[in-house]
Each structure stands twice: as C-alpha cells, then as structure tokens.
Amino acid sequence: MFDKIAAHPEGISAARLAEQHSWSPSYTARLLDAQASFGLLKKTLGPDNIGIYHITETGKYMVSDFQGSFDGIFTIFSKRVMKSMSDIPDLIKSGEEGYKAQWVSSQLQTDGSADKQGPKDQQPLAEPKMPEGCQEKCAAGCMKSGMKERRMYQIMEALMYPYRDDIVRAFDLSGFKTVVDIGGGTGFLSYNLSRTYPDMKVTLMELPKAIKAAKEQFQPPDFDKLNVSYLEGNCLKDPIPDASLYVFCKVVHYFEEKKIEELMRKLHEKLPSGGAIMLIEDLLSPMRVGQPPANCFDLLKMTEKAGQNRTIEEYGSILERCGFAKFKCIRSNEESVYDMMMAIKD
Ligand SMILES: C[S@@+](CC[C@H](N)C(=O)[O-])C[C@H]1O[C@@H](n2cnc3c(N)ncnc32)[C@H](O)[C@@H]1O
C-alpha cells in the first residue's frame, strides 16, 4: 500500500488508488484515513474537496525500498513471529526434543518464491530439516539464497538503523585502530564504525553467503571512502585476524555458553594488552525479568531454537573466566534492543 502511494509524490486520492489496483474504494479510503490518523499519511483537500493522501516523514519507514524501512520487520512479525508465538504452548508441553522449529525451517526451505506469490499464510509450512540442537547453524541457515535472504538482511539493517550512532559512540573507540566485526551481516555496523572513526581499519568477517550479499547488494555509495574490507570465515572454525578490538553484534546469543567461552578465550590470547571485545546484545535484566523487548526476543529465539538472551552478569562471568579483567556495560533505553558490553584485556 505504501509503495503504491509513494509512486505518486504529488499525492493520490483513495478512489484513484483503488481504481488503479481494483480495490474497494470505500475500504481503501477507510484504511488510508486510519493510516493518516497515525501520522503515516497526510490528508489534504484537493479539487472538489477530494481527500489527497501523501506519505509523511514517518510513513516513509513503511515504504519497502527506503533505507531503514520497517516493511520487512512488519512482514516477518505478522507472518512468522505471531505464528511462532502461537507454537509456544506445544513447545512447553513437548520440550525441546519434540518441538518442530517451524519458523526457522520455513525460512530455510523457502526459495524466495513465497515473497512474490502473495498469500504466504495459505502456503503450508515445510517440515523442519534443521539439525537438532545446532544453534550456530540456525544463523547460517537463515542465509539461504534468494529473496528471503535479502529480506533477512534488510531486517537486520532496519533494526539497527535508528540506533546506529548510539552503538558506535557508546564507548570511545578512537584508540582501537584494527577492528574485526564478526558476524557483521551486510556490514552496516562496519561502515558506521569507519565513518565515525576514520583512522580505524575494519574487517567484516562473515559466513560466505553474507559476504557475497554485502559485496553485491548492500555496499553503501560512500564505500570507496571507507576503510572496510571483507573476510569470509566461520569464527568458530576459521582463523580470526589479529586486531585490537573484536565486535560481535547480535551474534553470540546463537552460541551455547561453552562455545562462547572457547571463542572468548581464544580472542583473549590473541589480543594485545588494552585490546577489547565488544558484545552487543539485548540483555535480560537481573532475575531475567525485563526489559520486555529482551524477554520477547528471548521467547522468539526459543521458538526458533536459535540461542537465548542472557543477563549482564552471565556475560560478565563468561568474560571474566576467559581472563578479561575489566568489564563495562551500557544499557540501552527501553525501546532499543542494543545493549553494549566491553571487556578489556589488562
Ligand atoms: C542476527 S545476525 C546479526 C548481524 C549484524 N551483526 C547485525 O547486528 O545486524 C547474526 C549474524 O551472525 C552471522 N554468524 C552466525 N554464526 C557465525 C559464525 N560462526 N561465524 C561468522 N558469522 C556468523 C550470521 O551469518 C548473521 O549474519
């Protein structure tokens, strides 16, 4: 709907929009009025007192090709997340073993045609093929090729978009000259780090599919001015380049505690004195209650079998066991799901 209105920067009436797409004129008008009531559209009076609708600054976030668009997030919430949540009763009754992780499996097995064919609700969900208990593969699996993959990446960028400055400026990172952004998706954070700290050399280390998408589909127009390079690799298996700072944004929640500990221990050995790890996650509050978005995302991860959220104390204790003497954390505000933790090697 918003894409179609955006195609008319001069504004469009409900009747004309309905006519163009063979929609019901009266229902279209009622929907547009409701959207205008939320400030997503502005309604002005045109010739003959006909209502003309324009997209507002806020409404732009509903247009699918606007950078930071929420379109993918809304789609995934309405089509998948709500479905996952309705699976929770089965999950708690049957436990991990009996549960079919439909959300992930349906992501994995869709070749993208569903995005083009319309009513996804009516398409049967495929049987899961996800290896049981293999959390890191969930992430790799979501990177399956096709439209779905691009949509997943767009969602990651859109989630971070409003908070990009808060994330890169939470700690003063100007002293770190070599940074590896591990599991950095399309490189959105790497590019923002490089823009904010021009002396910083950033390596985006990701699984091969993600690197391909980053290079081919998500490179920003100012890429040539940035100091960002790409490296294909699995951080749990492949060598990780030397650096003074390793950043993991929304990555380690996929991994079991044992794997995180092995990885952090390895990085602690590699780091020079004063080097650091920055973990960005949506943290649970003490006693694991709140903030509400963190608990909701934790439930989502439970239904996806894709890891779990943890508290500051849990991450602090893992990092301490791995030898990091200093640990600090900046909690986000209530709406954001990006909490920043920094562990420094003495
Ligand atoms: C939730 S996404 C976060 C992406 C990005 N950091 C962000 O915050 O938008 C998790 C990313 O971790 C990557 N990933 C998962 N396991 C990995 C591994 N073992 N090595 C490297 N990257 C991994 C996935 O490919 C995926 O892009």
pLDDT of residue 164: 94
Within this chain, do residues 112 and 227 fall inside the same structural domain, yes or no?
A: no
Report how far residue 311's alpha carbon sits from residue 146's, in angstroms, rounded to the nearest whole number.
Answer: 35
Catalytic annotation, pick one of 8, 54, 253, 268: 253
Of 87, 114, 148, at which residue does a domain stop? 148
Whether pLDDT at 151 is above 90: no
Of 62, 84, 102, at which residue does a domain stop? 62
Whether pLDDT at 143 is above 70: no
Q: Which domain holds residue 336?
A: 154-344
pLDDT of residue 237: 94
Q: Which two structure tokens, joined as six digits, stand for 55?
A: 């997209």
Report how far residue 271's alpha carbon sits from residue 269's, in angstroms, rounded to the nearest whole number.
Answer: 6
Tens of pLDDT, residue by residue over 286-339, are 889 988 889 988 988 888 777 899 999 999 999 999 999 999 999 987 777 899
Within this chain, do residues 13 and 50 fall inside the same structural domain, yes or no?
A: yes
pTM attached to this predicted model: 0.80
Domain count, the chain: 3
Within this chain, do residues 300 and 178 fall inside the same structural domain, yes or no?
A: yes
Within this chain, do residues 160 and 282 fall inside the same structural domain, yes or no?
A: yes
Mean pLDDT of 115-136: 38
Within this chain, do residues 249 and 309 fall inside the same structural domain, yes or no?
A: yes
pLDDT of residue 72: 81
Q: Which helix (H) or strand (E) holds 141?
A: helix 135-141
321 contacts 262 by C-beta, under 8 angstroms: no
Within this chain, do residues 239 and 327 fall inside the same structural domain, yes or no?
A: yes
Tens of pLDDT, residue by residue over 196-247, are 999 999 999 999 999 999 999 999 999 999 999 999 999 999 999 999 999 9
Within this chain, do residues 249 and 109 fall inside the same structural domain, yes or no?
A: no
Of 148, 166, 189, at which residue does a domain stop? 148
Within this chain, do residues 198 and 272 fall inside the same structural domain, yes or no?
A: yes
Q: Which residues line ligand 1 (CB under 6 A)?
A: 136, 139, 143, 156, 160, 182-185, 189, 206-207, 210, 234-236, 249-251, 254
Give the domain CATH number at 49.
1.10.10.10
- Beta pairing, strands 339-344 & 326-330: antiparallel
Within this chain, do residues 25 and 110 fall inside the same structural domain, yes or no?
A: no
Tens of pLDDT, residue by residue over 39-93, are 999 999 999 999 999 999 999 999 988 888 888 888 777 777 777 788 788 778 7
pLDDT of residue 96: 62
Distance 53 CA to ligand 1 centre (A): 40
